[in-house]
Structure 1
Amino acid sequence: MISELKSIVKPYIQDEEAYNNLDENTDFINDLKINSANLVDVILDIEDTYDIELDNESMDKMLNVKAALEVINTKISEK
């Protein structure tokens, strides 16, 4: 699932080295330098990829890879 998430964020990253070293602790904003507008695009792409809907509370939690995976897994299991 990390590799799927990695391909989703690729178009929006500003730091190639951080992207190449992406792991569960990678922060979307501080490490990958994804700006807040592009973070919304990432969220929309995640919704499309996994056929889920993310509420504002879920989106607010998705600041790093680990949190994003937890939210995605929770939403998938609720379907």
Structure 2
Amino acid sequence: MDKPDLIAAIKEVVRPYAKNQEALESINESTDFIKDLKINSANLVDVVLDVEEKFNIVIDNESMERMLTVQAAMDVVESKLAEK
């Protein structure tokens, strides 16, 4: 999966949780889920679960803790898909 497709997929996953729709529309690798999209920490768990479901992967706690930006989420997804 190439970078634009992966960003688009992550954007769709976080859309229901993002409080800042303007930031969501201009999402990129450096977008921070909490600071930019205003996703609360409880919803971050939902984001991780939705990412697992969308990509059919299992994300361990250590990886989950790193998933605070779009780039970090992309790195985790890419590494988990590569392990398959």
1:48 deviates by: 0.3
- Give me the whole-angstrom Cα distance separating, in 2, the residues matched to 1:36 and 1:66: 18
Partners of 1:78 and 1:28 lie apart in 2 by 25
Q: How does the TM-score come out when normalised to structure 1?
A: 0.98
Which 4+ stretches in 1 moved above 6 angstroms?
A: none
Instruction: State the percentage of identical aligned residues.
Output: 53
Query: Matches of residues 1-79 of structure 1 in structure 2 within 5 Å?
Result: 1-79=6-84
Mapped to 2, the partners of 1:38 and 1:62 lie a distance apart of 12
Q: Give distance in 1, aligned partners of 2:53 and 2:25.
A: 24
Aligned residue type for 1:44: L
Equivalent residue for 2:3?
A: none
Unpaired stretches in structure 2, ≥5 consecutive residues: 1-5
The count of residues paired between Structure 1 and Structure 2 equals 79
Partners of 1:57 and 1:24 lie apart in 2 by: 20
TM-score normalized by structure 2?
0.92
* C-alpha displacement of 1:66: 0.5
